[in-house]
C-alpha cells in the first residue's frame, strides 16, 4: 500500500493536534486555569494536555504567554502533497476576510496559486450547501454542528445532547466532498481556516474522503513569508467559486447560518439562540438540558 502523506513526513494521525512544547513552558499554569474543560493536568510539575479530555478549542494556545501550547503544523504535509504531483484544490474559510482585510482580500487567490494550488475556492460554498440541507431537515436536530469544538464537547461531556445535533456535516467537509465530486476524486483538497479543531475534524475516519490536510491562517501567513510572497506583488483575482456567496460569507458570524439561509434575525427571537465562545456554549447546554430548544 502507498504510504500516506502523513506517513511520508513521519507524522501519525493520532499525534495530538494541540500539544505542549515542554522546552518553552515556564510552568505558570495559566493554561490550566483557562482550559474550559479542565483537560490540562499538572504532571511532574508540567502542564500536560490529556488528549482524551481535550475538545481542541485552542484556548490554551491563545492564553499561553510562552507559545508553549501549540497547534500541530501541517505545512510540511501540504508541501509534500503539492510535491507529490497530485492536483490540489484549496478551500478557504470565510473568516479569511478578517485576517487578510482591505486590499489584501482580492490578492489571496493569486498568492495561493503561487504556492501551487491549482483550484482556489471558498468554503462559503459548503456553508451554503449545509444551510440549505439543515433547513430541509430540522426534525433531525437543532444544534448546528459547524464547529468541531462544540461537537467534541457534546460527544465528550454532554452526550444527552447528541440526538439534538443536526445530522449534517460542517461546511468544510461538505465543500471538500463537493470539490472532489466537481473536479474528480483524484484531486486532493486542503482547507485553510482559523482553528485547531478543524485539523482534528478532518482526521475523523468518517471525513477521510473529504479533506486531505488543514492549515491555519497563521500557518498560511508563515508559509507566504517563507516563500517571500508579498501580497502587494500578487495580482487581484477571483476565487473559483460556484454561485452567489454574498450571504454565505457571513456564516462564521453570530447568526450567520440564518443569514446564509436568507433569514433575517436580530437575535431577539425566543426560539433562536446564537452563542459563541466555550463558556457561553457550555452554559447554554447546561440550561437547555430538558427543555429542547436551541
**Which of 10, 8, 33, 29 lies closest to 20 in space, CA to CA?**
29
Supply the minimum distance, in Å, between the C-beta of residue 157 and ligand SF4. 10
Contact 229, 238 (CB under 8 A): no
Alpha-carbon separation of residue 75 from 18, 79, 81, 115, 221 (angstroms) = 15, 6, 10, 11, 11
Supply the minimum distance, in Å, between the C-beta of residue 292 and ligand SF4. 27
Supply the minimum distance, in Å, between the C-beta of residue 50 and ligand SF4. 8
* Residue ranges in contact with ligand SF4 by CB under 6 A: 18, 20, 25-31, 35, 37, 39-40, 47, 49, 54-60, 64, 66, 68-69
**Quick one: 225 or 279, whose CB is closer to ligand SF4?**
279
**Quick one: 39 or 108, whose CB is closer to ligand SF4?**
39
**Quick one: 69 or 128, whose CB is closer to ligand SF4?**
69
DSSP 73: P
**Quick one: 37 or 173, whose CB is closer to ligand SF4?**
37
Contact 214, 202 (CB under 8 A): yes
Contact 224, 192 (CB under 8 A): no
Contact 87, 187 (CB under 8 A): yes
For residues 285 and 208, what is the distance between their CA atoms, to the nearest angstrom? 29
Cell for 162?
Answer: 447528541
Supply the minimum distance, in Å, between the C-beta of residue 176 and ligand SF4. 23
Supply the minimum distance, in Å, between the C-beta of residue 68 and ligand SF4. 4
**Quick one: 18 or 257, whose CB is closer to ligand SF4?**
18
**Quick one: 20 or 216, whose CB is closer to ligand SF4?**
20
Supply the minimum distance, in Å, between the C-beta of residue 154 and ligand SF4. 14
**Which of 144, 95, 98 lies closest to 123 in space, CA to CA?**
95
For residues 189 and 117, what is the distance between their CA atoms, to the nearest angstrom? 9
Amino acid at each position: 500500500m502507498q504510504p500516506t502523506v502523513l506517513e511520508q513526513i513521519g507524522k501519525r494521525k493520532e499525534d495530538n493536534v494541540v500539544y505542549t512544547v515542554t522546552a518553552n513552558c515556564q510552568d505558570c499554569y495559566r493554561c490550566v486555569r483557562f482550559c474550559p474543560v479542565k483537560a490540562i493536568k499538572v504532571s511532574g510539575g508540567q502542564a500536560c494536555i490529556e488528549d482524551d479530555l481535550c475538545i481542541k478549542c485552542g484556548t490554551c494556545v491563545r492564553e499561553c504567554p510562552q507559545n508553549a501550547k501549540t497547534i500541530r503544523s501541517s505545512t510540511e504535509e501540504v508541501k509534500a502533497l503539492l510535491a507529490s504531483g497530485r492536483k490540489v484544490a484549496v478551500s478557504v474559510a470565510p473568516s479569511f476576510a478578517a485576517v487578510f482585510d482591505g486590499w489584501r482580500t482580492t490578492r489571496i487567490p493569486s498568492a495561493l496559486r503561487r504556492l501551487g494550488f491549482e483550484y482556489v475556492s471558498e468554503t462559503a460554498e459548503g456553508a451554503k450547501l449545509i444551510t440549505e440541507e439543515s433547513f430541509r431537515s430540522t426534525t433531525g436536530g437543532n444544534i448546528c454542528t459547524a464547529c468541531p469544538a462544540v461537537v467534541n464537547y457534546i460527544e465528550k461531556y454532554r452526550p444527552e445532547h447528541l440526538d439534538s445535533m443536526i445530522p449534517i456535516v460542517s461546511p468544510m467537509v461538505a465543500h471538500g466532498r463537493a470539490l472532489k465530486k466537481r473536479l474528480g476524486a483524484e484531486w486532493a483538497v486542503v482547507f485553510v481556516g482559523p482553528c485547531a479543531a478543524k485539523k482534528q475534524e478532518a482526521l475523523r475516519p468518517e471525513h477521510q474522503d473529504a479533506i486531505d490536510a488543514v492549515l491555519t491562517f497563521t500557518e498560511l501567513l508563515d508559509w507566504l513569508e517563507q516563500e517571500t510572497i508579498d501580497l502587494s506583488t500578487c495580482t487581484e483575482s477571483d476565487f473559483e467559486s460556484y454561485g452567489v456567496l454574498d450571504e454565505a460569507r457571513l456564516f462564521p458570524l453570530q447568526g450567520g447560518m440564518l443569514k446564509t439561509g436568507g433569514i433575517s434575525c436580530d437575535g431577539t427571537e425566543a426560539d433562536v439562540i446564537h452563542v459563541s465562545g466555550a463558556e457561553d456554549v457550555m452554559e447554554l447546554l447546561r440550561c437547555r438540558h430538558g427543555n429542547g430548544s436551541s
